[in-house]
């Protein structure tokens, strides 16, 4: 079993090699400049690598990019093997990254929170304090209370 530092270093190398090969070496029109490699993870035994990617475009372009990556898997694995120089080249699995959808969900939730804050701010604009404007005691206030209670 390899150590985590070696797996991390191999994952970084795989991400770089796959990204460069997609940009310059593969002529598949389904991949083009739409695909971005976001992350790569390698198992502890360095046998399998998961490559996360995002695609700029609609659902049809995502499906086409997934098919293009699947067809280019052998060429990409060969490029990784040549660059890594390891005894065994890890098998590549391409997984669409959920990052854009997660970011969209977070943005939607933040927009709901902003709208709620605006409603609260609007309701509080004409409100008055339930007690005094400054509810905290000051050093001279204790003497006034003692005189009033006697």
Confidence check: pLDDT of 150 > 60: no
Backbone angles phi, psi at 87, to 5 degrees: -65, -40
- Compare 139 and 88 and report the one with higher pLDDT: 88
Q: Which residue has the tokens 């796959």?
A: 18
- Taking residues 120-140, report their average pLDDT: 78
Any idea of the CA torsion for 92, 57, 17, 98, to the nearest 10 degrees? -50
DSSP string computed for 73-114: HHHHHHHHHHHH--SSPPEEEEEE--HHHHHHHHHHHHHHHH
> What is the rounded CA–CA span in Å between residue 32 and residue 130?
64
Local confidence band at 2 (pLDDT 50, 70, 90 cut-offs): low
Do 40 and 84 touch, CB atoms closer than 8 A? Answer: no
- Taking residues 104-131, report their average pLDDT: 87
- Taking residues 97-115, report their average pLDDT: 88
pLDDT in tens, 21-61: 888 877 777 776 678 888 999 998 888 999 999 888 788 88
- Partners of 20 in the beta sheet? none
- Predicted confidence at residue 52, as pLDDT, reads 93
pTM summary value: 0.67
- Taking residues 17-22, report their average pLDDT: 88
- Predicted confidence at residue 147, as pLDDT, reads 58
């Amino acid at each position: 079993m390899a150590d985590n530092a070696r797996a991390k270093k191999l994952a970084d190398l795989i991400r770089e090699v796959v990204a460069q090969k997609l940009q310059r070496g593969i002529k598949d029109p389904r991949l083009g400049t739409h695909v971005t490699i976001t992350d790569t993870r390698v198992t502890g035994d360095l046998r399998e690598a998961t490559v996360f990617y995002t695609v700029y475009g609609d659902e049809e372009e995502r499906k086409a990019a997934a098919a293009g990556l699947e067809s280019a898997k052998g060429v990409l694995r060969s490029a990784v093997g040549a660059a890594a120089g390891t005894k065994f080249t890890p098998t590549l699995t391409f997984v669409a990254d959920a990052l854009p959808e997660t970011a969209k969900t977070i943005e939607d939730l933040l927009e709901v929170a902003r709208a709620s804050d605006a409603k609260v701010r609007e309701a509080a604009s004409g409100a008055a304090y339930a007690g005094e404007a400054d509810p905290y005691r000051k050093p001279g206030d204790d003497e006034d209370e003692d005189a009033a209670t006697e």
